[in-house]
Amino acid sequence: MILFLLLVGCGKDNDDPNPTTSTATFRVDVSQTGDYQKFTRIITIAGGDFKYRGTTDPVPAVLLGDNLNTASFSVEALNVEELSISTMTGFSPVETGPAAMTLKFSVYRNGTLLEEKTFSYTEVTKDKSDDLSYKAN
């Protein structure tokens, strides 16, 4: 047991004054067009302390319902190692078709546009998930 404690105690020191992990400021602009109110949508934007751009209002861990009533919004976070965006979208069972919508993500790292990704959905869409991931370096 003493040998085990010695081995555990001699592990790598985590108080490195010069960490090699790189971070970045990420901004995500989200826009919805079409009949988006007729669809159930769940979006998570994770990897940092995201705030609605231009405010100090924190972004909920899961965006759904009232959080997605606007056609567009923008979020931003500093010191992000890896940004991940996940969506789950489906046509609402209480609505009638035809219906179509697009969900567009514009992702910026340190003020530079990395990617614009657009997903399209129709009334036949059932629980479709999409994932995006970006690293700081």
The pLDDT score that the predictor gives to residue 19 is 54
Instruction: State which residues form the domain around 75.
Output: 22-135
What would the DSSP string read from start to end of 68-136? G-SSEEEEEEEEESEEEEEEEEEE-TTS-S--EEEEEEEEEETTEEEEEEEEEEETT--SEEEEEEEE-
Identify whether 2 is part of a domain. no
The pLDDT score that the predictor gives to residue 17 is 53
Identify whether 26 is part of a domain. yes
| Number of domains within the chain | 1
The pLDDT score that the predictor gives to residue 18 is 52
- CATH number, domain containing residue 90: 2.60.60.50
The pLDDT tens digits for 65-74 are 999 999 999 9
The pLDDT tens digits for 124-134 are 999 999 999 99
Tokens of 84: 């991940």
Q: pLDDT category, 20, cuts 50, 70, 90?
A: low
The pLDDT score that the predictor gives to residue 4 is 38
Which phi and psi (to 5°) does residue 71 adopt?
-70, -25
Identify whether 4 is part of a domain. no
Residue type at 10 in one-letter notation: C
Q: What is the pTM of this model?
A: 0.83
Identify whether 15 is part of a domain. no
